[in-house]
Amino acid sequence: MIRARAALFMLTLAGPTASAPPAPPPLPALPFDTYPSPMREEVERAYREATSRPTDGEAVGALARLLHAWEQWEAAHSAYGRAQALAPRVFDWPYLDGVVLQRLARHAEAIARLEAALATLPDYLPARIRLAEARFEAGKLEESRTLYDQLIKERAAEPAAHFGLGRIDAALGQHDAAVAHFQQAIALFPEWGAAYYALALSLRARGRGEEAQRALLGHARHGAAWPGVPDRVLDGVTTLRDDASAKLRRGRKRADAGDLVGAIAEYEAALRLDPSRALAHGNLVELYGRTKDWARAEAHYRAAIALGTDLAEAHYDYGVLLGLQERWDLAAEAYERAIAIDPRHAEALNNLGQIHERRRELDQALDLYRRAVASQPTFRLGRFNAGRMLVALGRPAEAISEFERLVTPRDAEAPRYLFALAVAHVRAGHRDEGLKWAAEAKLLATEYGQHDLAAAIERELSSLK
């Protein structure tokens, strides 16, 4: 009896028997026969590696990445789940799983994965942006707003934060606030098609139909362009594919990052795989123009025209190419061809205005700049040029009303806009107001390291004091 009680006592001290950890989920069953080549070969190779090393999180994760790259979302999610179970402290697996779950519109699950990833690497900016997006899509608006309010302080995330805050305001019916945020997002990234569309919806909700229609034209022109932030983890997925579509995406990303040689290589490789990609031809016109390889740029313009798609953009790109060579008359003809196809092509209108300005045809230039702004009210350069023409034509009061709409956002473009506003006030006889704006322009120019502009503003201030 004593021995039995002692045994019971020892069992009580030991506590309950620990249960074994749950087994990792299995690898997904893959329909290899349905995959196109070379996808099938690549996935089969990665699958064999993962099955030969079933407890190796890196081998399983490599398979998950490849499935992700080829947009096999459910299979990628399953493989990422096993990789997370095998290597729970690795940031990449929950983060990439969260990306996949967003594509599957499973936002509550995406939130859990992204939160798990950020617990490992709290400052990873792409994950913070995605978590804010996922919370919005899951209907957690105030939680999403809290994250966007933090992100707006990060320069790289500022466009995404304004867009996100605009979506929240629009969802709550606060369309005036939403319009302001969408306009800020577009000012920071003028090619953001989704931001134009969201802006159009909020403008329409406020009864501003004409402005909404112009915003929809911006959406149609820019399409799927989206401001990115550097994402080394997701880049490890997107670089796995070598088909034409993947090369086009990489080319655009390299061009946005300033890697012209790398972008050209990606676009040329895409065209070797699929010569019918008009977008690649058009982008190569611009890129070869920037590297001053005029002959290759001309050849890609001719190829784009022969395909017969995106003709307005092709003529516009050719006009830019000719302008880089200072062949102004031919550039004007190219812009006119672009405008004939798309009368609201703001960039073509603006650039044609600059050619008329070079010819000292200031009234014609002003008309074109105003047409550019009417087509795209958030086109800051067009509005700036319209204001400059009004000053040159002796109409500073009208110029002030244009420049006043450019005082925000206070980004790297803003110092010259503030300085122009200062000059317009001085020309209109508002000396003190001009001094105030000039001082603010100088301070902002110094903050952004624009020392030549800051020195020019200082000389102007000295002449006025």
Question: Tokens in use for 457?
Answer: 């503003």
Residue 60's CB is within 10 A of a number of other CB atoms, namely 28
pTM for the model stands at: 0.67
Inside any domain, residue 273: no
464 lies in some domain: yes
Structure tokens at 333: 């003809």
In the listed set 176, 191, 206, which residue is the last one of a domain according to the structure? Answer: 191
Across 326-355, average pLDDT: 97
Average pLDDT of the segment spanning 333-350? 96
With residue 24 as reference, give the H or E element that holds it.
Answer: none
- Mean pLDDT to the nearest integer, 13-32: 73
The answer to whether 300 and 264 have CB atoms below 8 angstroms apart is no
Provide, for the chain, the percentages of residues in helix, strand and coil under a 3-state DSSP scheme, each rounded to the nearest 5. 75, 0, 25
∠ CA(79), CA(84), CA(87), 5° rounding?
120
User: Which candidate, 329, 281, 323, 286, places its Cα nearest to that of 305?
Assistant: 281
Q: Token pair 């603010």 is at which residue?
A: 440
| pLDDT computed for residue 21 by the predictor | 66
Q: Give dist(CA 242, CA 265) in Å, integer.
A: 12
pLDDT of residue 19: 56
Considering only residues 391 and 242, tell me which one the structure prediction assigns the higher pLDDT.
391
Within-domain flag for 456: yes
Q: Which two tokens stand for residue 66?
A: 């490849």
Mean per-residue pLDDT for 195-214? 91
Cα 48 to chain centroid, rounded: 37
Q: Stretch 356-367: mean pLDDT, rounded?
A: 97
Question: Can you give the pLDDT at residue 36?
Answer: 86
C-alpha distances in Å from residue 25, one per residue of 28, 53, 64, 77, 222: 9, 15, 13, 11, 42
Q: Give the Cα separation of 410 and 326 in Å (integer).
A: 32
DSSP helix/strand/coil, 106? coil
Residue 449 within a domain: yes
CA 57, distance to chain mean position in Å, is 32
**Selected residue with higher pLDDT from 9 and 396:** 396
Burial of 81 (0-12, 13-18, 19+ CB in 10 A): buried
- Say how far apart CA 50 and CA 78 lie, in whole Å: 13
Q: Does residue 301 lie in a domain region? A: no
Asked whether residue 53 is domain-assigned, the answer is yes
Q: DSSP assignment of 118-163, as one string?
A: HHHSTT-HHHHHHHHHHHHHTT-HHHHHHHHHHHTTSGGGHHHHHH
Long-range contacts of 453-456 (CB under 8 A, 24+ apart): 453/415, 453/416, 453/419, 454/415, 456/419
CATH number, position 92:
1.25.40.10
Q: 435: domain range?
A: 399-465
Domain stop point among 142, 157, 191: 191
pLDDT at residue 10 in the model: 41
The answer to whether 378 and 190 are in contact (CB under 8 A) is: yes
Q: Which of 164-168, 188-192, 268-272 has the lowest mean pLDDT?
A: 188-192
Question: Which DSSP symbol is given to 25?
Answer: P
User: Which DSSP category does 174 fall into?
Assistant: -
Q: Judge whether residue 452 has pLDDT over 80.
A: yes
Is residue 19, in this structure, part of any structural domain at all? no
CB 203 within 8 A of CB 174: no
Q: What is the mean pLDDT of the chain?
A: 91
pLDDT confidence bin for 86, thresholds 50/70/90:
very high
SS3 label, residue 74? helix
How much of the chain, in percent, has pLDDT values that exceed 70? 95
Give the chain's domain count: 2
- 151: in domain: yes
Domain boundary among 143, 170, 191: 191
- Calculate mean pLDDT across residues 288-295: 94
Compute, in degrees rounded to 10, the torsion defined by CA atoms 168, 171, 172, 177: 60
Q: What pLDDT sits at residue 3?
A: 46
Q: What percent of the chain has pLDDT over 90?
A: 77
439 vs 118: CA distance, rounded Å: 42
DSSP string across 267-317:
HHHHHHH-TT-HHHHHHHHHHHHHTT-HHHHHHHHHHHHHHTSSHHHHHHH
Contact between 24 and 86 (Cβ < 8 Å): yes
Model confidence over 224-279: pLDDT tens digits? 778 888 999 999 998 898 888 889 988 988 887 778 999 999 999 999 999 999 98
How confident is the model at residue 185, as a pLDDT?
Answer: 94
- Here the tokens at position 213 are 């229609």
Euclidean distance between CA atoms 142 and 164, whole angstroms: 12
Question: Rounded to an integer, what distance in angstroms lies between the CA atom of residue 250 and that of residue 269?
Answer: 11
138, pLDDT greater than 80: yes
Q: How big is the CA angle at 225 (ends 219 and 228), to the nearest 5 degrees?
A: 135
**Average pLDDT over every residue of 66-82:** 97
